[in-house]
Structure 1
Amino acid sequence: MTRLLPGILAMAAIVVASNILVQILLGQWLTWGAFTYPLAFLVTDLTNRLHGPREARIVVLAGFVTGLICSLVGTQIAGDFGPLVTWRVALASAAAFLCAQLFDIAIFDRLRGGRWWRAPLVSTLVGSALDTAIFFTVAFAATLSFIEPGNDVAWANEALPLLGAGPVVPLWMSLGVADWLVKLALALIALLPFRLIVRQFRPQAV
């Protein structure tokens, strides 16, 4: 278990940082948390490559528990418009993280025998898309308001052009697309540290 400690600590740090930075807006469509959270996929993929899928699931579980704790704390902190984290957002965050990370592990493991970049890139792209779709739909879609009837998500369902220039859609879809584009860019950038770290600790794997 001690060999997994760096991955567990890194995952916990990313989850905590993302839960804090998601409260800070960056422009019209993003928060600073959008730039830290995707690093969780890098940690998962590194653990998978260096130690295996079982160990990667342990690291993901540590991140999941950390996220639950952060969400619970957030529900108890009052912001300008209510709790910093609503129960609906907490549920969306937990479901998105767990599903996306477990899919990432499964896809990575299936592709691990191919070119060095294929497993981390494909697994991260699929996991990121799943994460974004689950989180923004569960957290903000009007059709799922029954999850937390007292949580007003009318602001997220305001009809606006997609990213300010596309077809008219609910605001939460623009937020989701912007978030996914950041994940896509970071998935490509993360290939470099992935290769360097794996080459350092397990040269035969690259």
Structure 2
Amino acid sequence: MHSMISEFLEHYGALGVAALMLLENIFPPIPSELVMPWAGYSVSQSEMSFAAVVTAGSCGSFIGAMLWYFLARWIGKDRLARWIEGHGVWLTITPQDLDRVEDWFDAWGTVAVFVCRMIPGLRTLISVPAGFAQMPIGRFTVMTALGTVIWTALLAGLGWWLGDNYSQLAGPLGWISTAVVAAMFAWWVYRLVQHRSRSANEA
């Protein structure tokens, strides 16, 4: 994947950075931990400016986050709860879980959105509960923008600082991103098995 991302960015430049960061928020297996360090490396080679890559990466990532937020807000909690009653076993959640998430968001939503925008694997997912919990759009926008800019600037800055050695950063960060996604999948499988076992016992 690293070579594919590099070739794409070499061809499309800052526009490619924005496109891949948008896709990363729709299809998380495309990791920002590979995209932004390469963009920073291109800055060290005088191929793009630091401001351009951070702006492009932040805009793409921000748009992706907002798409998930508005989709979740449009679906709404009530509609989602009805769907979960019939299909929630595959999500390993119940309507009661939605109530708990909504209560948690009322207390910690602002901090959660800001922090999770800088955590691999959670960067995309945090927009969904924020949307169905109807977190105020102004607050969500500000926290998402701040977390996104800090994350993209940090990764691009590290890639710029490392220069030709940026691959030393991209590799470990890519593994961290993969590990987080794998851990989330393992947790889902555990919850699914647990849920099915409980349902079988009740039956």
Common fold by TM > 0.5:
no
Normalising by structure 1, report the TM-score. Answer: 0.41
Structure with higher helix content: 2
Report which structure shows greater RCO (CA 8 Å, sep ≥6). 2
Larger radius of gyration: 2
Normalising by structure 2, report the TM-score. Answer: 0.41
Structure with higher strand content: 1
